Amino acid sequence: MDMRNGVKAHSALETCRLSSGAGPDGSHGDSEKNVTQDGRTFTNGNVIGLLDVNGAIDENLNLEPLRKAEFIVDGDDSDCERSGLDRAVTEEPLVSIFKQAALPFLLGGLGTVFAGLILDAVQSWPAFRHVTELFIVVPPLLGLKGNLEMTLAARLSTQANLGHMKTVRQQWDVAVGNMALVQCQACVLSLLSSVFAIVMGLVSDDTFRLDQALFVAACSMCTAAIASFLLGSVMILVVAHSSRCHVNPDNIATSVVDALGDMTTLAILAGLSTLFYSWIAQPWFSGLFVAGLASLSPVWVVLARGHPTSRKVLRVGWWPIIVAMAISSAGGFILDIAVSRFSGLAAFQPVINGVNGNLAAIHASRLSTLFAQRSQLGRHPEQDSRSCVDPITALCRRNRQARVSQLLLALSLPGHLLFVVLVFLMSEGNSVLTAPFVACYLVASTVLLTVLLYLARIGAYWMWRRKIDPDNALIPLLTGFGDMFGTALLLVAFVGLGAARDPSVTPSHNAARPPSPVAH
């Protein structure tokens, strides 16, 4: 969409129509006028002035941006009465969406490929071989990309599209509040995910070791803090720069997170696990980092409360990310089981989950921005108000949202084919790429993306009607569910191929990991 001069609707903007009454010149007539809360007045889609509180026209106003505004409503009075405060929004061409999303999508996919290769390599490292709980925290840590960074990207994209990040001062205010919020959330979620991993380890091992518990907690919390800071900083720069380049950040921001998120997080986890594992015999070392990061949480809370958007999320935005973390942790338990049977599966887990979660996040972010532009939180236009629609309507019809879903599905198939080939070419070992493997992988990927896109459609409409911001609640739930469901689908595909003795997943190419050593 054309975003020059901040033409996206202001968050405080409420449009109503006056079918009669005095115009700016004092005359009366039947011409309809659109008057906004901040004084902008339109006649039949044309700007005629800006009124101050006394009704005077500001002659110094630059009216050019307003002539391009996407929220001008045309039509008869009955249409306006039915829509209340709704604003018409110009649809972005599908070709424009494709051009803006294709390259970041490919870069994001390459990032998940490298993340998969990193995970495939580190599974044989001593820390991962001896403290198997690290595999359980991998999906929750990768899920932080969806729980935190992608929601941050969606919030920033919406703020930019609404014109709230035009100046350096605005960008700084938004950045400080949101970065502090992300650090606070990362600390809490990483600690919870490590506790879940330790509990799951007790279920399978029936032995509690303080040194391993603190080791897992330190690795998880430090990884989350560093990765969130790096990715959050990049995201702020991307959104701010895309606005200047007339690019819709909704189409690229989540893909940039996808390109860097998994790879960065796994690389940091691998490095920190090696460091902390060398000190595992001294639990105080890991405990020092855990206590230090936990003690910083009140500081992040104070800073996050300084910005309205982050303050609201800090108050009501915890349940989606905690639920998503729990779902991702269940996916981690599945991954721990799967990798013990098929070591080659680890290379594909970040790819199938990351790429499809990225595309679903793009759809959810676009829907959230659309809702913010056209109506108030809690209501939809009557002509587009159905929250629960069948999958055919949501994905296969010719309505706008279905067309976007079809575009994303069409984008995913060649992308996944490329990523699978790259994983096989770049991975170590003697794995063989077979047609049955490619077919099973593409089927699993398509099923996962179809389900996620459908959930994005009905979830966004459902949440907005109930005054829940999809930017903060929907994307974490989508990526968390995608982590669990995608890992399960991948395991089913590997089990089926293994039963058919396909050479791509035979036991000779997938040695099982040794069990964790017995406590001394």
Question: Does residue 257 contact residue 157 with C-beta atoms inside 8 Å?
Answer: no
Cα separation of 278 and 282, whole Å? Answer: 9
3-state SS, residue 441:
helix
Please report, for residues 103, 181, 238, 470, the alpha-carbon distance to residue 310 in angstroms, rounded to integers and kept in the order given: 30, 6, 19, 14
pLDDT at residue 40 in the model: 39
- This prediction has a pTM of 0.67
Give the pairing type, strands 28-29 and 33-36: unpaired
Cα separation of 325 and 105, whole Å? Answer: 24
Residue 415's contacts (CB-CB under 8 Å, 6 or more residues apart) are 105, 106, 109, 355
Q: What is the 3-state secondary structure of 108-170?
A: HHHHHHHHHHHHHHHCCCHHHHHCCHHHHHHHHHHHHHHHHHHHHHHHHHHHHHCCCCCCHHH
Cα separation of 92 and 249, whole Å? Answer: 13
Look up residue 4 and give its DSSP letter. G
How would you classify residue 14: left for phi > 0, otherwise alpha for psi between -120 and 50, otherwise beta? beta
Question: Does residue 401 contact residue 367 with C-beta atoms inside 8 Å?
Answer: yes
Q: Which of 142, 136, 135 is nearest to 115 (CA)?
A: 142
- Write out the E strands in 444-517: none
Instruction: Give the domain ranges of the chain.
Output: 4-83, 94-509
pLDDT at residue 192 in the model: 87
Q: Could you tell me the mean pLDDT of each successive run of 10 residues in the chain, 520 residues long?
A: 40 37 40 38 36 38 36 37 48 73 80 82 82 80 73 79 78 84 88 85 75 90 91 84 76 72 86 90 90 91 82 80 83 83 83 88 82 72 63 72 84 90 78 87 94 89 84 84 91 90 64 42
Structure tokens at 278: 């060398």
CA dihedral for 159, 164, 168, 169, sign (positive or negative): negative
Question: Does residue 471 contact residue 151 with C-beta atoms inside 8 Å?
Answer: yes
3-state SS, residue 47:
strand
pLDDT at residue 384 in the model: 59
Q: Which of 279, 332, 345 is nearest to 490 (CA)?
A: 345
Q: Which of 244, 228, 263, 245 is nearest to 153 (CA)?
A: 228
pLDDT at residue 310 in the model: 80
Burial of 467 from C-beta contacts in 10 A (0-12 / 13-18 / 19+): exposed
Cα separation of 309 and 164, whole Å? Answer: 11
3-state SS, residue 259:
helix
Residue 420's contacts (CB-CB under 8 Å, 6 or more residues apart) are 348, 351, 433, 437, 438, 441, 442
